[in-house]
């Protein structure tokens, strides 16, 4: 019993420390009202009117308000061949709370800010490989099993949705950030492919689990918080803080 208390206290103190680091390191959240928070694009995404090929992009940005200290919101944008626009697919909780479906589609810019938070491009595919993956992704979106439910923690949420699409289309080799709370949520079963499709994971409702994969490395999930080591890119993964690079950045000549 004593050791349980010691480990529990250590776990709480560790995460309080990580939360403080995230706060002091300038994790980008917004205190603005959602109706006035910026949704302006950053200019990362290509102009679809100038691109004939198929494009798939996955983005992530810190969640709105205080939730942004703990995790991110992620979404996927798809441009079919010859299309003059992207279609962005994402999961939001307010739609479910008002009697709608969790998954929404819109023509908002793929790289638009998420209520003030700047997005980061975490995966991109173009050309024939993207064109081949799009039918699988659209089918998975249409039949998403959690389309009538949403839970911020431990899931299913927006990151659960994107992780599911990664498993459906492993060619994306999707390596979601450790701050993607909900990515490990498995409602049915304990065993699944990793979101990147390059390994496997065990997960108990997204609350306790382990993941081993070439893209993600080794991850341990405790109460929905991800701790891990990415042996491929030499970095450690921490909840709230995110990825911490251990190797020095490459020079332009490298």
> What is the full per-residue pLDDT of the chain (254 aa) written as tens digits?
555 444 444 444 444 444 444 444 445 555 667 678 888 999 999 999 999 999 999 999 999 888 888 999 999 999 999 999 999 999 999 999 999 999 999 999 999 999 999 999 999 999 999 999 999 999 999 999 999 999 999 999 999 999 999 999 999 999 999 999 999 999 888 999 999 999 999 999 999 999 999 999 999 999 999 999 998 889 999 999 899 988 665 444 43
Instruction: Give the per-residue pLDDT at 34.
Output: 66
Overall domain count for the chain: 1
Sole residue written with tokens 């049915």:
188
In sequence order, which residues have a C-beta less than 8 Å from that of residue 80 and are 6 or more positions away?
Answer: 54, 131, 134
251 within a domain of the structure (yes/no): no
Backbone angles phi and psi of 45, in degrees to 5: -70, 145
Looking at the chain, the whole-number percentage of residues with pLDDT higher than 70 is 84
The mean pLDDT value of the chain amounts to: 88
pLDDT tens digits, one per residue of 192-245: 999 999 999 999 999 999 999 999 999 999 999 999 999 888 999 999 989 998
Confirm whether 169 is domain-assigned: yes
Give the span between the Cα atoms of 55 and 243, in whole angstroms: 26
The whole-number pLDDT of residue 67 equals 83
The pLDDT value recorded for residue 35 is 75
Answer whether residue 253 is part of any domain.
no
Report the C-alpha gap between 190 and 239 in whole angstroms.
22
CA distance 251 to 173: 25
Distances (CA, A) of 17 to 10, 23, 239, 241: 10, 10, 11, 10
Those residues with Cβ within 8 angstroms of residue 30's Cβ, 6 or more apart along the chain or in another chain:
37, 64, 65, 68, 115, 116, 117
- Residue 7 belongs to a domain: no
Question: Is residue 11, in this structure, part of any structural domain at all?
Answer: no
Let me know if residue 208 belongs to a domain. Answer: yes
Q: Which residue range forms the structural domain that includes residue 41?
A: 25-245
d(CA 243, CA 229): 9
- Do 173 and 215 contact (CB within 8 A), yes or no? yes
What is the C-alpha separation between 6 and 13, in angstroms, rounded? 11
Quick one: pLDDT at residue 188? 86
- Distance, CA of 40 to CA of 112 (rounded, Å): 5
> What's the pLDDT score for residue 143?
98
């Amino acid at each position: 019993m004593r050791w349980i208390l010691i480990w529990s206290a250590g776990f709480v103190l560790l995460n309080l420390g990580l939360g403080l680091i995230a706060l002091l390191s300038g994790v980008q959240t917004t205190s603005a009202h959602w109706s006035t928070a910026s949704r302006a694009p950053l200019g990362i995404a290509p102009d679809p009117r100038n691109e004939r090929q198929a494009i798939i992009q996955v983005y992530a940005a810190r969640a709105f308000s205080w939730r942004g200290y703990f995790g991110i919101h992620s979404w996927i944008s798809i441009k079919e061949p010859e299309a003059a626009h992207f279609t962005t697919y994402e999961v939001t909780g307010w739609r479910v709370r008002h009697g709608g479906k969790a998954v929404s589609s819109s023509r908002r810019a793929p790289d638009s800010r998420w209520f003030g938070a700047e997005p980061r491009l975490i995966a991109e595919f173009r050309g024939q490989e993207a064109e081949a993956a799009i039918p699988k992704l659209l089918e998975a979106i249409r039949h998403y099993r959690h389309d009538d439910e949403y839970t911020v923690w431990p899931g299913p949420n927006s990151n659960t949705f994107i992780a599911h699409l990664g498993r459906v289309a492993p060619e994306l080799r999707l390596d979601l950030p450790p701050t993607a709370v909900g990515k490990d949520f498995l409602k049915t079963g304990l065993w699944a492919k990793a979101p990147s499709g390059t390994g496997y994971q065990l997960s108990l409702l997204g609350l306790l689990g382990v993941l081993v994969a070439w893209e993600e490395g080794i991850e341990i999930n405790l109460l929905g918080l991800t701790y891990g080591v990415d042996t491929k890119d030499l970095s450690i993964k921490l909840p709230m803080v995110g990825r911490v690079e251990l190797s020095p950045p490459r020079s332009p000549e490298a």
